[in-house]
Amino acid sequence: MQKTEVKTLTHFINGVEVEGKSGRFGDVFNPSTGEKIAKVPLASTEEVNEVVKLAKEGFTHWSKVSVGKRVEVLHKFRALLVENTDRLAYAIGEENGKTISDATGEITRGIESVDFAIGAPHLLKGEHSVNVGGEINSYSMHKPLGVVTCIAPFNFPVMVPVAMSTMAVAVGNAMILKPSEKVPHSALILAELWSEAGLPAGVWNVVNGDKEAVDALLTNKDVMAVSFVGSTKVAEAVYEKGTKNHKRVQAFGGGKNNMVIMPDADIDTAVNSFLGAAYGAASQRCMAISTAIPVGEKTADAFVAKLTEKVNELKVGKFDDQEADFGPVISAEAKASVIKSIDLAIEEGAVLAADGRNPKVADENGYYLAPTLLDHVTTDMNVYKEEVFGPARIVVRVNTLEQAIDLINEHEYGNGVTLYTNSGSAARTFTDQIEVGMVGVNVPIPIPVGYHNFGGWKRSRFGEGQMFGPDTVRFFTKTKTVSERWFDTSYNDESKTDFDFPSS
């Protein structure tokens, strides 16, 4: 077999590719084969600070460009995303491991965020009130923050950076993207497309790096806002450090997402929905369904029997295998961690309904795990408490809908949840009482479309602001309110000074 050429990647700074200067590099692997395919530079603090300086210069120009002209660039960027979908999907598959069809779906979701940001001229309109008192008019305007940064995860190399950054650019900010060092190539392609679309130098930059680069972004005084997606532990650390350094921070963490199956639900529909929502992308989604909660023993027995049969039919394979349902996990370390979680669950008393720890695959050097299903899991087990970022899913049995709601509400995560039922009453009770940020009814993965807000509750999110929808405008702008009165040229007020607090 021909050995893969190991590329040396770059940063993208001020409109051009820039070689790393730190002398430090990270290794990038193809999870489907285990091969090293690239070296990515890891930026030093000094390099990050220089990028921030150049981005600040880019912001000075870009913030003065009319919103209509900025949107023209977004239209061109959108067209280029569509034109380069196959290229981007291959880059995602090669570095992340997800199938080409799944990667294509990710890109389509990212384009939704561009579509919404194209509406920036309307979304930036402020409020206006005439004669609030004393012939004074009041109005507000949304002003860009300056230099902002997005710190993106490995599991969505295109969708998350696009969703996090497009509105920020549309409203006049300069962006610095720090992608996951595991999947840097997609970010560099995005930077190329932004440049081709006509975005001025310095407005959209890519800095590759590890913790040193993140810390530099979190402490640089000229970075005004930080948007982060990753594990809960790191999200909390980013939030604490960012806010300590007086930054606006939204940090999206992990989830333990549940699917509740009522006795009146169509079991075949629920099973098929669970399969895709639970095991798609090798379960490496913060919105993946990790837990099935069938209500009643009869429901549980029927659901697990049909689900087990279907799980054993799923195929794991290389990212460009058109017959594969999902690909490998991101790394050898990730694979070992998932197996460790499965082993511990069995030790704690979970029943192994399907075992995916040793799959038969064409390339044994890849980081493959077949789907695992664990039944009779209880809330005191580690596999229930913690997020498992890989294809090991669990079944927790309950007797009533109320028990399911209480169980979900007591968990520290509150990202996503869904209910399968034919009862409008059950759905109303569920959507009203559940303490989770994104809720579905007969929907496999309750991810909102690009023009609705995305964000979890509890320890699934730190800070305020959403990744999609109207909140992106509010997060990436600051509001200025003006109270204005104009006197007639013949105005001559000889009244005494008024020391009372002004009112209408």
Q: Identify the residue with better confidence: 364 or 17.
A: 17
Active-site residue flag, 286: yes
Task: State the CATH class of domain 7-253+460-481.
Answer: alpha beta
Cα dist from 373 to 5, 87, 304, 324, 445, whole Å: 38, 34, 9, 19, 19
Output the pLDDT for position 132.
84
Output the pLDDT for position 452.
67
Q: Is the pLDDT of residue 413 over 90?
A: no
User: Beta-carbon neighbour count of residue 400 at 10 Å?
Assistant: 10
Q: Where are the alpha helices (DSSP H) in 349-463?
A: 382-385, 401-410, 424-433
Do the beta carbons of residue 381 and residue 348 sit within 8 Å?
A: yes
pLDDT-above-90 percentage for the chain: 76
Do the beta carbons of residue 42 and residue 210 sit within 8 Å?
A: yes
- pTM (two decimals): 0.91
Q: Which of 455, 458, 423 is nearest to 439 (CA)?
A: 455
CATH 3.40.309.10 fits 257-441, yes or no: yes
Output the pLDDT for position 493.
63
**What mean pLDDT do residues 101-125 have?**
93
CA distance 128 to 137: 8
Task: Look at the block and give the residue holding tokens 């079944």.
Answer: 395
**What mean pLDDT do residues 480-489 have?**
85
Kindly report which listed range (323-332, 382-391, 458-467) carries the lowest average pLDDT score: 458-467
Tell me, what amino acid is at 163? A
Output the pLDDT for position 286.
81
Kindly report which listed range (153-167, 305-319, 405-419) carries the lowest average pLDDT score: 405-419
Output the pLDDT for position 90.
97
Band of the pLDDT at 143, cuts 50, 70, 90? very high
Output the pLDDT for position 488.
76
Instruction: Choose from 206-220, 413-427, 490-504 the range with maximum mean pLDDT.
Output: 206-220
CA distance 317 to 393: 19
Instruction: List the domain boundaries for the chain.
Output: 7-253+460-481, 257-441
- The catalytic position among 145, 214, 286, 473 is 286
Output the pLDDT for position 3.
66
Output the pLDDT for position 491.
62
Band of the pLDDT at 462, cuts 50, 70, 90? confident
pLDDT tens readout for residues 46-81:
999 999 999 999 999 999 999 999 999 999 999 999
Band of the pLDDT at 431, cuts 50, 70, 90? very high
Output the pLDDT for position 364.
84
CA distance 240 to 442: 37
pLDDT tens readout for residues 251-282:
988 888 899 999 999 999 999 999 999 999 99
